[in-house]
Amino acid sequence: MLENTLVAIHVMANLVWIGTIASVGWLTSAASKANNADAAKLAHNLYLRAAVPAFLASFAFGVSRLLLAPKYYMTSHWFHGKLTAVLVVIALHHVIGSKAKKVAAGSMQAGRSGGILVGALLAAAFLSVACVVLKQLLVP
């Protein structure tokens, strides 16, 4: 029961996290192109108030689940792919957040690559999900 609850909370936090960080990237890019300081501040606030807390919750509940059965996860081939994709998502989360902060501070050029970063983030998030959903196909 505890394991299923941890997974449910982890998945819910992921939904909020990926949705908000993608929105931050799109808003940052749009604010940069339109030279819109209000949209830039909105993107940065969304990052701080929604994306970061959702990321922290996802991370905490994911690690909690991992600690319940570390041997299972560390010996599962599908988990290595998922973990790699997740590390890419985490890195992109921080890059997008940094760009949102710079655009909110007035550097409109910093947000120009927001759309590309969001595309990469969504692709890596999809790979993470695919590793879990298709794990029976990935197990030797």
User: CA–CA distance from 46 to each of 5, 27, 54, 60, 130 (Å)?
Assistant: 27, 10, 11, 20, 27
Crossing angle for the helix pair 114-133 and 77-104, nearest 10 degrees?
160
Could you read off the pLDDT of 60-111 as tens digits, one per residue?
999 999 999 999 999 998 999 999 999 999 999 999 999 999 999 998 788 8
DSSP class of residue 35? T
Q: Does pTM top 0.85 for this prediction?
A: yes
